[in-house]
């Protein structure tokens, strides 16, 4: 936006595409405002703007706009509370006589967007929690847009192919705030549709993300949605197989099973200090294994392939092979750099975040590298091309 456009918005006190605040620490207020602008319930189809550093009447609050403040504001998008992640920019701008932090939020194509499990909307010049009818309208908006692969419905699937007990006991409490659930009078079809597990409409069909997350048998509809685990008694694939498993099921069970397998195979050695205190050291840091494996589940290609994720455990290394190369903003050249990320399966990423398998977006590889270093392992090696991403984790130095 130009300086003139921002100035006009700043002083338009009745606009429902603008919010002003003199606070610089109320992260929840910022997140709710971003969520409301992304949902764009009035269907303005233009960005909503949050001005930080100004009073509600448009007068300057004389707040210093630091680089740290701008970084903190930008981090709201990726901290896992805004799902799906909206498109937004954060800038320091001089508007009129004020230095401000300006957050511009584009209307989301995949509504409803939630902040900490609550759908927020704009009602005139104020922010409010969405009603059941508001959520229906936001859900219906998706019908008229092209959908990414993980939102595509499977016409020959039905609600009977979804594990409704898993949905009610595990997914709903982890994705919707307790207050909203307590007020919830919607039936399963409305709940599933609001969370993108059913396509919009009275006779919605299960979506890919719904079948992957809570499907009774995901590989019936997405053939490659499983993990092949091999434990090799040697250094080459041709050496004897010590153990092998096919790990499958909806995302919560798939990842829980994978975690169990990784922990069971991760050798732990004991060392005693001079004070006879036993120190236990794992061959591989479990956090690094989890981060790389979960990245594979989140970012792999599911469309038009029956290839699984492959986890191959050799005597000296672990190889994790994920079908599909980099996507969107991520390239072969910048792969693995902190903060550089994009989402082929952004609604699956949302579901995994809701389930607690992603704490913060865009830092998984950096976190894994840090844990490898702390444990005494070499840096993770990546082989990246258009067909697959291969991560190699080598055993701890002795």
In angstroms, the first-to-last Cα distance of the chain is 57
* Phi, psi angle pair for 61, to nearest 5°: -100, 0
Structure-token pair, residue 218: 């995901």
b/e 239-257 (16+ beta carbons within 10 angstroms → b): eeeeeeeebbbbbbbbbeb
- In sequence order, the β-bridge partners of residue 181 are none
* 24-56: pLDDT as tens digits: 889 999 999 999 999 998 888 889 999 999 988
Q: What is the CATH class of 3-128?
A: alpha beta
Confidence grade of residue 180 (pLDDT, cut at 50, 70, 90): confident
Structure tokens, 198: 């059913």
Q: What is the pLDDT of residue 146?
A: 60
Q: Residue 201: which region, alpha, beta or left (left: phi > 0; alpha: psi -120 to 50)?
A: left
Specify the domain boundaries for CATH 3.30.950.30 within the chain. 3-128
- C-alpha 239/C-alpha 98 separation (Å) is 69
pLDDT tens digits, one per residue of 77-89: 988 899 989 999 9
Q: Quickly tell me which residue has 């504001």 as its tokens.
A: 73
Give residues with Cβ within 8 angstroms of 207, minimum separation 6: 150, 151, 152, 153, 154, 196, 197, 198, 199, 347
Which residues have C-beta within 8 Å of that of residue 84, sequence separation ≥ 6?
108, 110, 113, 346, 347, 349, 350
Residue 285 has pLDDT above 70, yes or no: yes
Q: How many CB atoms lie within 10 A of CB 201?
A: 13
Identify the CATH number of the domain defined by range 227-394. Answer: 3.30.565.60
**Cα dihedral across residues 248, 250, 253, 259: positive or negative:** positive
Backbone angles phi, psi at 34, to 5 degrees: -60, -45
pLDDT band at 142 (very low <50, low <70, confident <90, very high): low
Average pLDDT, the chain: 89
**Start-end of CATH 3.30.565.60 domains in the chain:** 227-394
Using an 8 Å Cβ cutoff, are 315 and 303 in contact?
no
Is 326 in contact with 388 (CB distance < 8 Å)?
A: no
Whether omega for the bond prior to residue 373 falls within 30 degrees of 0, making it cis, is no
- Do residues 49 and 104 touch, judged by C-beta distance below 8 A? yes
Phi, psi torsion values for 127, nearest 5 degrees = -100, 145
The confidence score (pLDDT) of residue 43 equals: 84
The C-alpha atoms of residue 13 and residue 29 are separated, in whole angstroms, by 18
Q: What is the pLDDT of residue 277?
A: 53
Model's pTM, two decimal places? 0.73
Q: Radius of gyration of the chain from Cα atoms?
A: 23
């Amino acid at each position: 936006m130009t300086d003139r456009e921002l100035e006009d918005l700043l002083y338009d006190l009745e606009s429902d595409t603008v919010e002003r605040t003199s606070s610089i620490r109320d992260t929840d207020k910022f997140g709710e405002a971003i969520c409301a602008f992304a949902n764009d319930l009035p269907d303005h189809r233009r960005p909503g703007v949050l001005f930080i550093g100004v009073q509600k009447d448009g007068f300057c609050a004389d707040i210093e706009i630091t680089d740290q403040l701008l970084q903190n504001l930008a981090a709201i998008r990726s901290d896992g509370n805004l799902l799906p992640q909206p498109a937004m920019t954060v800038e320091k701008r001089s508007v009129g006589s004020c230095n401000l932090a300006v957050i511009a939020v584009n209307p989301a194509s995949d509504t409803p967007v939630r902040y900490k499990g609550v759908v927020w909307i704009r009602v005139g010049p104020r922010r409010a929690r969405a009603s059941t009818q508001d959520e229906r309208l936001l859900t219906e908006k998706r019908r008229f847009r092209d959908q990414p692969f993980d939102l595509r419905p499977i016409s020959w699937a039905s609600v009977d192919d979804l594990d409704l007990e898993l949905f009610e006991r595990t997914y709903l409490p982890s994705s919707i705030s307790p207050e909203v659930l307590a007020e919830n009078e919607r039936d399963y079809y409305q709940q599933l549709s609001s969370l993108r597990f059913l396509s919009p409409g009275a006779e919605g069909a299960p979506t890919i993300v719904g079948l992957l997350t809570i499907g009774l048998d995901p590989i019936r509809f997405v053939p490659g949605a499983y993990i092949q685990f091999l434990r090799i008694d040697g250094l080459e694939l041709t050496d004897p197989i010590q153990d092998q498993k096919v790990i499958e099921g909806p995302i919560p069970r798939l990842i829980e099973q994978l975690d169990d397998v990784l922990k069971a195979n991760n050798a732990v050695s004991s060392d005693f200090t001079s004070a006879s205190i036993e120190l236990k050291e794992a061959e591989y840091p479990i956090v690094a294994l989890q981060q790389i494996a979960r990245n594979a589940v989140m970012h792999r290609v599911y469309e038009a392939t029956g290839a699984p994720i492959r986890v191959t455990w050799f005597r000296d290394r672990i190889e994790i092979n994920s079908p599909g190369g980099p996507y969107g903003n991520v390239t072969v050249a910048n792969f693995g750099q902190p903060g550089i990320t994009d989402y082929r399966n952004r609604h699956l990423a949302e579901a995994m975040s809701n389930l607690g398998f992603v704490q913060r977006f865009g830092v998984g590889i950096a976190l894994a590298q840090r844990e490898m270093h702390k444990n005494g392992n070499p840096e993770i090696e990546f082989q990246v091309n258009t067909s697959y991403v291969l991560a190699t984790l080598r055993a701890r130095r002795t």
